[in-house]
Amino acid sequence: MRVYALFGSLVLVAFANVASGAPRTLTLRQSIAPPRNWVDLGRAPPTHVIPLRIALPQPRFLELEEHLTEISDPLHERYGKHLSKEDVEALVAPHASSVDAVHEWLDSHGIRKEACHRSPAGDWVTVRLPVAQAEKMLGTEFRVWKHTLDGDVLVRTTEYSLPAHLDEHIELIQPTTAFNRAKGQRTTFRFSPAPETASPLSSDDKISVAGSGVTVDASCNTTITVSCLKQLYNAVDYVPKATDKNAIALTGYLEQFANFADLQQFYVDQVPAAINTSFDVVLINGGLNNQTLGDAGAEADLDVQFALGISFPTPGTFFSTGGRPPFNPDTDTPTDTNEPYLDWLNFILAQPKIPQVISTSYGDDEQTVPVDFARRVCGEFAQLGARGVSLLFSSGDGGVGDGDPDPATQTCFTNDGKNQTKFIPGFPASCPFVTAVGGTVHIPEVAVDFSGGGFSNYFPRPIWQDVAVGKFLASLPKGTYAGLFNPSGRAIPDVSGQADFFRIFFRGRAVHIGGTSASSPSIAAFIALLNDARIAAGKPSLGFLNPLIYALNGVGFNDITAGNAPGCGTPGFNATAGWDPVTGFGTPDFGKLKDIVLKF
């Protein structure tokens, strides 16, 4: 932490207008370099309203982590003994003195307790404030920033301050310095090559896959359907049984909504048994669900069609989270520019019942998220894991980089002012408490060249990764990419799945689409089927998956050993025997995994 210097000493900058007398000094909490590819358009309108979210420290968080470690370790006697909502809330509750200190501070700015929203555990306090007031309280200036490449506009600041006495009572406040966005991780839409019908029902042409021993329609090499994935991942004959208890969900951000009519066309094409069934839509914080066909989102359509198509008749939910309304920086119109994950997390953690598997195909470069904020958000994912929820995230579509081939705009440079060249891992995939899903292509499967992978610069390698990742690192020729990645970081992806040539229905037409956006919802669906088998056998859901996946050390997965994922002007890492930072342990063999997960 740096402190504003005044009169050549530490301390002091702004005098907060404390009604009750003694002026308080502010000390700098966080200061970041203006992030790459964002231009400063000038001061934010003083009346622009921001929902400031104040994170209070969670003094018992390590205890929560210990519980999570035990209940997700398949060899531990507490495996699967998920915590209740109340248990988790007790473990993340702030100290009463922090609650008091925060409200006293807010009160000194005329903000009454009743005007604040508190999360069920009390660990987040949210207050909607005009920019002018937030600036006064945080000793900063909010500015309007525009992304030079995609035109996104955010109201953010590059630093903020707080009274020093709040150091131990406030962990962080956002949205202030977090420039991450929930951008959909898809690569390409291929509109025309989609053939008229999915299965060229002349399925005499088969590919035998060495290794797993499955047989797959030859057409699957160029067009991926629900049936292809069930064949390839060995789940053809599985019939879900626990559909009254088991569930799967997808999250959508930005202007993404899944179209019911597109889903019906998809079902007619690929899952006739599911015709006339649908899914629930939950709107969060102004999330949209515009069923005008022309407004469907490709990402949302892809996620819903494949996740629900594979796991049918498991009930599905689509969470549509708002938070990026049109923002016109030239007007004074108060609008929100939220941070994407917090609204959803706040909502979902408050629910008494949560779908057991949730897939998210959104993310951004890890370095666009301030490290304290990334840790806190990651800790929220741990809470979901402790409640028995498996979270899957696509690992990114840029190999070891950000996917931008243009060195002028690519972000393989550190944002910390030093401008070092570095590989760019994605967040939230880099959070150890989520399962990162990379991509493969073709049959036999090889790594797809955009599969996001690498090593976190924020999160240390969790113990359960030591053996597998250690082995991979030891196999790298000495000095490989030295300085470009953090060999002691959490490594991604954990697993992978097919990622290209997915045949979906989008705005009324069959199209091909690809990206690790396609992998995450489909692998999530196979996890949902594993949960189905467990729940039907009277066992709890799998919950946080990674300790199990790494304990299996490749058993139950098809190892992908060919291909690489370039990025940052390098060929990136190679897919190798065993775990690798391109495809993780590989793709699931549902049949084998089902037998395994029924054993404990």
Q: What are the catalytic residues? A: 299, 303, 517
Q: Tokens at residue 406, please?
A: 């243009």
Rounded to the nearest whole angstrom, what is the least distance from the CB of residue 264 to ligand NAG in the complex? Answer: 8
Which CB, 79 or 455, lies closer to ligand NAG?
455
Q: What backbone torsions phi and psi does residue 226 show, to the nearest 5 degrees?
A: -55, -45
Distance between CA atoms of 134 and 160, rounded to whole angstroms?
10
Distance between CA atoms of 570 and 503, rounded to whole angstroms?
31
With CB under 6 A as the contact rule, the residue among 7, 75, 276, 326 that binds ligand NAG is 276
The answer to the question of residue 419 lying near ligand NAG (CB under 6 A) is: yes
Q: Which residues, 161 to 220, sit near ligand NAG by CB under 6 A?
A: 207
With CB under 6 A as the contact rule, the residue among 154, 173, 178, 443 that binds ligand NAG is 443
Distance between CA atoms of 26 and 12, rounded to whole angstroms?
6
Which CB, 61 or 413, lies closer to ligand NAG?
413
- Say how far residue 392 (Cα) sits from the centre of its chain: 7
Counting residues that bind ligand NAG (by CB under 6 A) gives 17
Q: Which residues, 456 to 485, sit near ligand NAG by CB under 6 A?
A: 476, 480
Q: Is 489 exposed, middle or buried (0-12, 13-18, 19+ CB in 10 A)?
A: buried
Which CB, 70 or 295, lies closer to ligand NAG?
295
The answer to the question of residue 108 lying near ligand NAG (CB under 6 A) is: no
Count of alpha carbons within 13 angstroms of residue 459, beta-carbon side: 29
With CB under 6 A as the contact rule, the residue among 126, 133, 203, 221 that binds ligand NAG is 221
Distance between CA atoms of 320 and 159, rounded to whole angstroms?
30
580 assigned to a ligand binding site: yes
Rounded to the nearest whole angstrom, what is the least distance from the CB of residue 29 to ligand NAG in the complex? Answer: 24
The alpha-carbon radius of gyration of the chain (Å, integer) is 24
Q: Tokens at residue 15, please?
A: 């005098």
Count of alpha carbons within 13 angstroms of residue 485, beta-carbon side: 29
Residues 6+ apart with CB under 8 A from 538: none
Distance between CA atoms of 231 and 591, rounded to whole angstroms?
11
Distance between CA atoms of 588 and 527, rounded to whole angstroms?
9
Rounded to the nearest whole angstrom, what is the least distance from the CB of residue 107 to ligand NAG in the complex? Answer: 39
Which CB, 19 or 408, lies closer to ligand NAG?
408
The answer to the question of residue 312 lying near ligand NAG (CB under 6 A) is: no
Distance between CA atoms of 41 and 458, rounded to whole angstroms?
30
Distance between CA atoms of 367 and 177, rounded to whole angstroms?
12
Provide DSSP, 270-338: H-GGGTT---EEEEETT------GGG--HHHHHHHHHHHHHHTTS-EEEEEE-------TTS-------
With CB under 6 A as the contact rule, the residue among 1, 149, 236, 275 that binds ligand NAG is 275
Distance between CA atoms of 425 and 402, rounded to whole angstroms?
8
What is the identity of the amino acid at 269? Answer: D
Rounded to the nearest whole angstrom, what is the least distance from the CB of residue 263 to ligand NAG in the complex? Answer: 13
The answer to the question of residue 573 lying near ligand NAG (CB under 6 A) is: yes
Q: What backbone torsions phi and psi does residue 376 show, to the nearest 5 degrees?
A: -70, -45
With CB under 6 A as the contact rule, the residue among 96, 151, 292, 353 that binds ligand NAG is 292
Pairing status of strand 38-43 against strand 143-147: antiparallel
Which CB, 84 or 290, lies closer to ligand NAG?
290
Count of alpha carbons within 13 angstroms of residue 192, beta-carbon side: 0
What is the identity of the amino acid at 163? Answer: P
Which CB, 45 or 563, lies closer to ligand NAG?
563
With CB under 6 A as the contact rule, the residue among 60, 206, 442, 507 that binds ligand NAG is 442
Helix (H) or strand (E) holding 467: helix 466-475
Rounded to the nearest whole angstrom, what is the least distance from the CB of residue 105 to ligand NAG in the complex? Answer: 37
Which CB, 373 or 573, lies closer to ligand NAG?
573
73 assigned to a ligand binding site: no
Which CB, 160 or 573, lies closer to ligand NAG?
573
Which CB, 546 or 583, lies closer to ligand NAG?
583
The answer to the question of residue 260 lying near ligand NAG (CB under 6 A) is: no
Span interacting with ligand NAG, options 159-167, 287-295, 382-390, 526-534, rule CB under 6 A: 287-295
Span interacting with ligand NAG, options 76-84, 194-202, 289-297, 488-496, rule CB under 6 A: 289-297
Site string for ligand NAG, 365-404 (x = CB under 6 A): ----------------------------------------
Residues 6+ apart with CB under 8 A from 151: none
CB 498 within 8 A of CB 439: yes
Site string for ligand NAG, 529-568 (x = CB under 6 A): -----------------------------------x----
DSSP-H helix ranges across 85-201: 85-92, 96-108, 131-138
Count of alpha carbons within 13 angstroms of residue 489, beta-carbon side: 25
With CB under 6 A as the contact rule, the residue among 4, 189, 260, 413 that binds ligand NAG is 413
Rounded to the nearest whole angstrom, what is the least distance from the CB of residue 412 to ligand NAG in the complex? Answer: 9
Rounded to the nearest whole angstrom, what is the least distance from the CB of residue 405 to ligand NAG in the complex? Answer: 14
- Three-state DSSP state, 438: strand
Rounded to the nearest whole angstrom, what is the least distance from the CB of residue 459 to ligand NAG in the complex? Answer: 22
Distance between CA atoms of 153 and 324, rounded to whole angstroms?
9
Rounded to the nearest whole angstrom, what is the least distance from the CB of residue 42 to ligand NAG in the complex? Answer: 21
Rounded to the nearest whole angstrom, what is the least distance from the CB of residue 70 to ligand NAG in the complex? Answer: 36
Q: Tokens at residue 21, please?
A: 């007398």
Which CB, 334 or 571, lies closer to ligand NAG?
571
Span interacting with ligand NAG, options 157-165, 189-197, 290-298, 349-357, rule CB under 6 A: 290-298
358 assigned to a ligand binding site: no
First-to-last C-alpha distance (Å) of the chain: 47
Contacts with ligand NAG by CB under 6 A lie at: 207, 221, 255, 275-276, 290, 292, 295, 413, 419, 442-443, 476, 480, 564, 573-574
Known binding-site positions? 559-560, 578, 580
Annotated binding site for Ca(2+): 559-560, 578, 580
